[in-house]
Chains A and B, each alone.
Chain A
């Protein structure tokens, strides 16, 4: 049977989650689902927040082994705040992403974690970076990750437009997460979204019953 590479044991990566980040005109939206599961059989948490703040205007989403991801983020946060003190200015988004990348690349044999980093800085405005499993760092306008992301590649490719407004981008992100949660049994719960702009940071939580419904439900 052809393997649909969503089985975490086959691919050895991205388990039990859907994460997403997208740039709009003036800012960036980063979001995730809220389910933590053990082996796809037991939901250990229905409301875990996978969007972590690493600095005032920089947030990360983690994918892969949650334990590895938490350890890496903890280390990255301390490096980043030290770097920020040394530079006497808020860190660039690429600095946060590079720190994560260094940790992932140097420890690639032991770690199984990938990250989406999104934020706003004075030099380049809104940015999204992906640090993948082996430590590759690339910048993209929109990116998705986690086991649930497989099901929404088509939707994201079709529906993402550069320079959307804040409301359009929020709706796009909510729809994408809702669709992935509808198809992936290890993604679910509520949708956690964070909107980052020059002016500040806003958290949006969309509970399960307020998520958009599509016509098979």
Chain B
């Protein structure tokens, strides 16, 4: 047909539009993400798990350019393995976050990805670090990605200190569901990872099991 343009996914950069969130509870952390990867207006992967392991008890959540985020995660995974062998024990969450921050800061002009690093270590328990644009800050919880704008009000209102593990998981699921409803670049299923002293649990919540709200 005349004038037919090529599909967007051939020319547009692949971004994990995304909504990511991590929250600390007494004894561990919960991380959550959506599963949509978009190239322009096309969804090129609707089931991508954006929660990437950096070590047994340290995960990171990816957002921004998919290639940049994955590359940072892989590089830090390698660096953490080496570091962990050198010190002879499991790495601290702050070490992992610092490695991510170092790459983000050094290459801040070339990269456009934001990773939230969260995990558990023996010294400080559950911790969440935000590393946007090369800053490193520990927070009780962090949200990121394009969908996060829509849920700032919700998380500000609903977050309370001292929530239990189950309350944190529900908080993460609710936040993801709300963001996925409003952000065109977030959607699909919700991935959850809960890390504590004893184990690391990965869970998937399918679309029809997500919470619904008054207009659905």
Contact of A162 among B156, B160, B185, B214 (CB under 8 A): B214
B133-158 interface bits toward A, Cβ cutoff 8 Å, 1 = contact, 0 = none: 00000000000011001111111111
Given the known A-B contacts A2-B17, A4-B149, A6-B149, are A160 and B154 also in contact in the complex, defined by CB atoms under 8 Å?
Answer: no
The stretch from A50-58, A64-72, A174-182 touching chain B is A174-182
- Most interface-central of B160, B178, B179, B214 (chain A CB within 10 A): B214
Q: Which of A157, A175, A183 has the most CB of B within 10 A?
A: A157
Inside 8 A of A176's CB, which chain B residues have their CB? 153
Q: What residues on B are CB-neighbors of A155 within 8 Å?
A: 151, 153-154, 156-157
Main SS class of interface, A: helix
Return the CB mask of B38-79 against A: 1 if under 8 Å, else 0. Answer: 000000000000000000000000011000000000000000
The verdict on A151 contacting B150 (CB below 8 Å), with A2-B17, A158-B178 known, is: yes
Contact pick for B215, options A1, A154, A157, A180, CB 8 Å? A157
| Residues B156 and A182 in contact, CB atoms below 8 Å apart | yes
Q: Which residues of B contact A42 (CB under 8 A)?
A: none
Contact yes or no, A179 B153, CB < 8 A = yes
Whether B214 pairs with A183 at a CB distance below 8 angstroms is no
Closest to A6 in B: B149
Quick one: closest B residue to A156, CB to CB? Answer: B153
A2–B151 Cα distance when bound, in Å, is: 16
Does the CB pair B161–A157 fall under 8 Å? Answer: no
Which residues of B sit under 8 angstroms from A141, Cβ to Cβ? 215
- Judge whether B169 is part of the interface by a CB distance below 8 angstroms: no
Contact of A82 with B by CB under 8 A:
no
Residue of B nearest to A216 (CB): B156
Specify which chain B residues have a CB less than 8 angstroms from the CB of A162 in the assembled complex: 214
| Residues of B close to A150: CB separation below 8 A | 149-150
Residues of A within 8 A of B200 (CB): none
User: Which residues of B are interface residues toward A (Cβ below 8 A)?
Assistant: 15, 17, 63-64, 112, 145-146, 149-161, 174-175, 178-179, 181-182, 185, 213-215
**Do B214 and A160 touch (CB < 8 A)?**
yes
Write the chain A residue with the least CB distance to B185.
A2
**A154 and B178 contacting across the interface, CB-CB below 8 Å:** yes
- Contact in complex: B112, A157 (CB < 8 Å): no
Q: Chain A residues in contact with chain B, CB under 8 A?
A: 1-6, 141, 150-162, 175-176, 179-180, 182-183, 214-216
B105 → A minimal CB distance (Å):
15
Out of A1, A153, A159, A214, name the residue touching B151 (CB < 8 Å): A153
Q: Would you give 13 A-B contacts (Cβ < 8 Å), ordered by A?
A: A2-B17, A2-B112, A2-B146, A151-B153, A154-B151, A154-B175, A156-B153, A176-B153, A179-B156, A183-B156, A214-B157, A215-B156, A216-B159
B64-A215 in contact (CB<8A): no
A157 near B153 with CB under 8 A, answer no
Q: Give the interface centre of B15, B149, B153 by most chain A CB atoms within 10 Å.
A: B153
Given that A4-B149, A161-B214 are known contacts, is A215 also in contact with B154, CB under 8 Å in the complex?
Answer: no
Q: Which residue of B lies closest to A175 (CB)?
A: B157
What A residues does B152 contact at CB under 8 A?
151-152, 154, 179, 183
Query: How many Å from the CB of A173 to the closest CB on chain B?
Result: 12
A150 closest partner in B (C-beta): B149
Asked whether A157 lies within 8 Å of B214 as measured between CB atoms, the reply is yes
Contact of B153 among A1, A5, A180 (CB under 8 A): A180
Per the bound structure, the CA–CA distance linking A1 and B18 in Å amounts to 12
CB pair A153 B150 closer than 8 Å: yes
Residue in B154, B156, B159 whose beta carbon sits within 8 Å of that of A158 in the complex: B154
CB neighbours of A153 from chain B (8 A): 150-151, 153, 178, 182
